[in-house]
Amino acid sequence: MSQEQTTFGWFSEEQQTPTPQTVDVGIGAVSIDDVVAVARRGAQIRIIDEARAEVEKSRRIIEELAHDTVPHYGISTGFGALATKHIPVAKRQQLQHSLVASHAAGSGPLVEREVVRALMLLRISTLATGRTGIRPQTLDTYVAMLNAGITPCVREYGSLGCSGDLAPLSHCALALMGEGEVLDKHGEQMDAARALDAAGIEPVVLEEKEGLALINGTDGMLGMLCLAIDDLRMLLTTADLAAAMSVEGLLGTDDVFAADLQALRPHPGQAAAAENMRKMLSDSEIRRSHRDPSACTRVQDAYSLRCAPQVHGAARDTLAHAITVAERELAAAVDNPVVTLDGRVESNGNFHGAPVAYVLDFLAVVIADVASMSERRTDRFLDVARNHGLPPFLADDPGVDSGLMIAQYTSAGIVSELKRLAAPASVDSIPSSAMQEDHVSMGWAGGRKLRRSVDGLARVLGIELITAARGIQLRAPLQPGGGAQALIDHLQLPAPGSDRYLSPEIERIASLVTHGMAVQAAETALGQLN
């Protein structure tokens, strides 16, 4: 997926904060919020003194082993299936260069700038643990490149998620050497050597172990996970708001969202979602109009209304698990071989992407389900047999006007795509490196499709907001609750009327949803939401 194919891409210069924050990187892990700040808001990074001392210490160990008569993987040997071949000292700089150049074998459209910046930060974070044996000057050059806004051109395809994201990380390492192509801070594509020179950065010449240290890790898939977590924290709250507006506009009941009923099934995500929905409906005149059982003969609402907290809550709890995995991974030093705390250099399998790959797939599953439920609520508004007195397709002059008929088609098409994207990438494995790497995670592919899933969810929720708003407006003179009215006002959702060109409206609302404006609008009336 190219940068132009998704709403969830690099924030433009004017969207960045005027004075970007600085993120300290060292032996303590960076946080998910740090990743987002660097990737999306242009925050600068700096290496703390304790980390620099540890980097220097581990580098001395590597330099001692470089002259050992016993071969050491990645220091004095080839790589992968060629690990048995000893490399003489005179060829070791060439060994590192060849490793990076040959592994920078990506293909396809450019990956979004925010993903590459997240990847770079996470590789720097691992290098700063002192467990990789990188030289301090190489680490400093990597930091300088990121802080200068230089973003290597990373291609869509090339990573199997084991040994980490080799091709994407290699494209970054290649730029560090002054080769390959990059985007400068203004987004102009150019040769890496030219961009480094303009920023006053000297390209590095890699020495023993440094090639492996730069390319062996799960940083790309982890970066995409962190960005998706940031998006989904906001989108799942948006889903609660859209569902509550649909309940309101379809004359549903909020009685089923009562705290004591939710507590009978004590999932924390469910309780949080139900609380948001209660807040949205608490002061609704529309809801009060049919609270009298004698005036409303329906015993129960449809599942897409009544069970929204259960589905949204399960999604929230899955997201909580993904956050736990991401935080553990952020605290990791993913490299092979690794310099241990007591100074040994040991081969290991910590680069395998399975832990991250699984949760990337889990999130794609829950996104598809949350979006599917949203689309079903949208569809209910358009059907006179189920919308409780609203016009067909919410049209102004049904027959002459089609109303929101085709907006639902768009939502349904996206949901169908989301279901296909929910097929897990991590269940597949194609052996590589002459069967040395005979089981891989495909986590990078999981991250790529998750980004498309996140974008699709925002669009589906945007269409539900448009539909629910029109349904609520058609209940006039009855007034909605404060949360719904704030959303309608702040998102400038138009009043019902004759048919108009819908695509720009859908795109505008999807963009506002993407950037958290729906949540911000509701919070102006309701206070902080879960």
Among all residues, which ones are annotated catalytic? 73
**What is the H or E stretch that residue 239 is in?**
helix 219-249
- Residue 401 has φ and ψ, to the nearest 5°, of -100, 145
Count of positions (residues) in the chain: 530
3-state secondary structure 81-132: HHCCCECCHHHHHHHHHHHHHHHCCCEEEECCHHHHHHHHHHHHHHHCCCCC
Bridge-based pairing state of the strands 189-191 and 338-339: unpaired
Q: How many helices (H) and strands (E) does the chain have?
A: 20, 9
CA-CA distances (angstroms) from residue 282 to 244, 266, 481?
10, 22, 7
Return the ∠ at Cα 338 (arms to 160 and 324), rounded to 5°. Answer: 60
Helix-helix angle 308-330:354-382, to 10 degrees: 160
The residues, any chain, with a CB within 8 Å of residue 409's CB and separated by 6 or more, are none
E strand map for 184-268: 189-191
β-sheet with 151-152: strand ranges across: 151-152, 181-183, 189-191
Do 206 and 93 contact (CB within 8 A), yes or no? yes
Under DSSP, the state recorded for 4 is G
Phi then psi for 71, rounded to 5 degrees? -70, 145
> Rounded CA gap, 322 and 92, in Å?
40
Q: Residue 86 CA to chain centroid, in angstroms?
A: 41
Burial class (CB in 10 A: 0-12, 13-18, 19+), 347: exposed
Computed over its alpha carbons, how large is the radius of gyration of the chain? 26
State the Cα–Cα distance between residues 310 and 318, nearest whole angstrom: 12
Report the DSSP beta bridge partners of residue 339.
Answer: 345
Two tokens, residue 519: 């949540």
Bridge partners (DSSP) listed for residue 181: 191
321, 362 in Cβ contact below 8 A? yes
Strand partners, 77: 86
Q: Where on the phi/psi map is residue 292: left (φ > 0), alpha (ψ -120 to 50), or beta?
A: beta
d(CA 182, CA 392): 53
Contact 59, 134 (CB under 8 A): yes
For residue 383, which of 365, 408, 363, 401 has the smallest C-alpha distance? Answer: 408
